[in-house]
Chain A
């Protein structure tokens, strides 16, 4: 996907009351991309979105939109629309008036507005809701109206601020599919903010993992999940076992006194590293059959799989398997070499802060 960049955030710095929220942030958003800003609360993702929307002015740096510097342009003059976290539907207007708000301001003809409302309500599956008041709608319906209200203005970019945060699990999953469908139908750029890693992995073309005002990693969902660049990303995206290891030499790492074959090279000899192993990549067997032996200490049924904790060599391993092993059962652990992810220990102060965060 080599599309041209639509938005460039250049050297953005923003502080609130001496607290630095964003520090020299650079981010390029391509046309037609579903880009997700992912991170824990306070990581700067919402501030980034608000800078894009024009509600927050950065202290330093500039926002380039379609080749033009819009850093100082007020929100009402920007060709992008926002879906707010708590929907922000106008409570004193019915659904029709809410959706028509932007169109009336741009003086669109009446018949055009009428058609647009109809089209938008159909798009979000809420035909016939024109005359209702927002307070009579459920959270999910209000959310879809908020999306309808934004997209009728045909923005080049839709900004979504944790739009599914207030919905229950089932509805959230439905809305995820709905959003992907919408994005494909509209063919516009989505910039999505969430703290929910599953949401980010499901919907995005590009995931930007943020923490403490810095971008930790940017890539496709597969990249982020399979090749986390540091312990923070590994820990934040999905469950993982993060263990101190010693890189003995290329393709051989020592973890908790046991040597494991791996596929990573170029870390040097006898170098301390962080090792990430996903819980679903650990294979349980009978004692003596694997690389190390341990005892199951916890067992939880999670629906799709069982989640177990196995005490082995002084470390509590998180393991996911479709086969249950009762608490107290002696087992062995084995990991395929390509499922062992080696990462450098954080070196700079910034990186350290990141690693300590969780």
Chain B
């Protein structure tokens, strides 16, 4: 005990609260998942829970998750990149308001936002009301893959905009001036300077949208009904419905591996240096 106190001398003591938090809510749960994932119900070591991903229900759910995560990442990128570009070019005071508009939803509880979206997308919801008002046919959106895609994009879009916007703001104006000075027109300046130099922002945006999307289950529950099963739903059900913590943990480990792989791929691209992969 004495040694421990000595070790946690004055300044280190300040990290105490976080340390406690990290041990209690990050490290212990992780160890528990690993323990449950690698054991069977009788307590013996097994790889069965990991190999359970080979079950068609499971790998289809994982594939579905990856597909939707990929889709929402792409849509977010398509929306966010031009917006961030225009915002970063704009020097005016309106800029703050527009950024605010995109961050504002983040201040409202995530579940509330998804539930609101459910109201909008429902068969007799607001969207169809508007469509009908203009004489357009109703769209069947709720409880489809499209609804999940819309929900995820809506929720994660700010995480794509902000890093890209930051990266673009960091580009020195003189680099753009220099390119123009050397004869480059606007198109070329964009392609040779702005695009490669904003790549770090694009990559962190992709990570921040793609990674949490893979394990998403609440959006799929609310907007997908029970029709579309994502890997997140499967894991959630193993814990809450069937009470099979071993299988749920095993599939969680598999999911984590996928997340680590996707992050490693992204970081490798980033490490090649300030978006050099473009050239």
Interface residues of A (CB under 8 A from B): 53-55, 74-77, 81-82, 84-86, 88-93, 97, 101-102, 105-106, 133, 149-150, 153
Contact = CB atoms under 8 A, between A and B. Distances in A.
Contacts of A82: 177-178, 181
A90 B274 CA distance: 11
9 contacts: A75-B180, A77-B183, A81-B181, A82-B181, A84-B174, A85-B174, A88-B177, A101-B182, A150-B182
B196 A102 contact: no
A50 B279 CA distance: 30
Nearest to B274: A92
B182 A149 contact: yes
A76 B184 contact: yes
A345 to B, nearest CB: 42
Interface residues of B, number: 23
A75 B181 contact: yes
Mostly, the B contact residues are helix
Given A86-B172, A86-B174, A97-B279, A92 B181 contact: no
Contacts of B69: none
A101 B179 CA distance: 8
A273 B172 CA distance: 48
B273 A133 contact: yes
B71 interface: no
Contacts of A97: 279
Contacts of B192: 90, 101
A92 B279 contact: yes
B276 interface: yes
Interface in B239-279: 273-276, 278-279
A76 B183 contact: yes
Given A105-B188, A133-B273, A90 B183 contact: no
Contact of B177 (A75, A102, A150): A75
A329 B233 CA distance: 93
Contacts of B197: 91-92
B57 interface: no
B17 interface: no
Contacts, number: 69
B56 to A, nearest CB: 45
Contacts of B174: 84-86, 88
A133 B183 CA distance: 22
Contacts of B183: 76-77, 102, 105-106, 153
A93 B196 CA distance: 10
Contact of A88 (B175, B196, B274, B279): B175
Contact of A90 (B180, B185, B193, B273): B193
Contacts of B278: 92
Given A82-B177, A97-B279, 16 more contacts: A53-B181, A54-B180, A55-B177, A75-B177, A76-B184, A88-B178, A90-B178, A90-B192, A91-B274, A92-B274, A93-B279, A101-B184, A105-B183, A133-B273, A149-B182, A150-B181
Nearest to B177: A55
Name which of B175, B177, B178, B276 has the most chain A CB atoms within 10 A of its CB: B178
Q: Which 3 A-B pairs have the closest CB atoms?
A: A102-B182, A88-B178, A88-B174
B177 A90 contact: no
Nearest to A74: B180
A49 B279 CA distance: 32
A86 B172 CA distance: 10
Nearest to A102: B182
A84 B192 CA distance: 19
A153 B276 CA distance: 25
A32 B172 CA distance: 31
A89 B197 CA distance: 13
Nearest to B278: A92
Nearest to B277: A92
B180 A76 contact: yes
Contacts of A149: 182
